[in-house]
Amino acid sequence: MRRLVEHALGAVFPTSAGIPGLERLDYGARLDEVLRGPPLMRLGLYAATLLFVLLPIWTVYTPLPSLLLSPSRLDRHANQLASSRIYLLRQLMLLLKTVGGLLWGADPEVRQALGLSPLGPDPGTFRGDELRVAAESPPRARR
């Protein structure tokens, strides 16, 4: 399933004249985090991916899964789905776009290509965190 998610995300954020697309970027660790996130988000992402893979017959009238489309058809398929008149489809695509946007927009290569400064780290630490405690060596808890 993860491969399919990567395929769909890559089609939504493809490489384009001088700007790297998701398929060229190393975002695996961050995607892992997303997939470990809230179950509802994961389910939505999987549902969006499945529809993305199955619906070329409806968008570009081709009875093939999106994995087998030519690059230009795949691009048309992605754009048609994102602009669909059916609200639920649009919402599911919005979820794909949101997750893809979080991964693509934070990437240093993309940011450099667009003339934006790179982002710093996301430490994910907090007071009392073992990772921070190790650095600060505060008093240890005892029971």
Binding stretches for another protein (CB under 8 A): 11-14, 16, 19, 21, 30, 33-34, 37-38, 40-41, 74-76, 78-79, 81-83, 85, 87, 90-91, 93-94, 96-98, 100-106, 110-111, 114-117, 119-129, 132, 138-143
Burial of 92 from C-beta contacts in 10 A (0-12 / 13-18 / 19+): buried
Nearer to another protein among residue 3 and residue 85 (C-beta): 85
Smallest distance, another protein to C-beta of residue 24, A: 12
Smallest distance, another protein to C-beta of residue 91, A: 6
3-state SS, residue 120 = coil
Nearer to another protein among residue 34 and residue 50 (C-beta): 34
- Please count the helices (runs of H) and the strands (runs of E) in the chain: 8, 0
Residue 6's alpha-carbon distances to 96, 117, 120, 126, 131, in angstroms, are 10, 26, 24, 31, 31
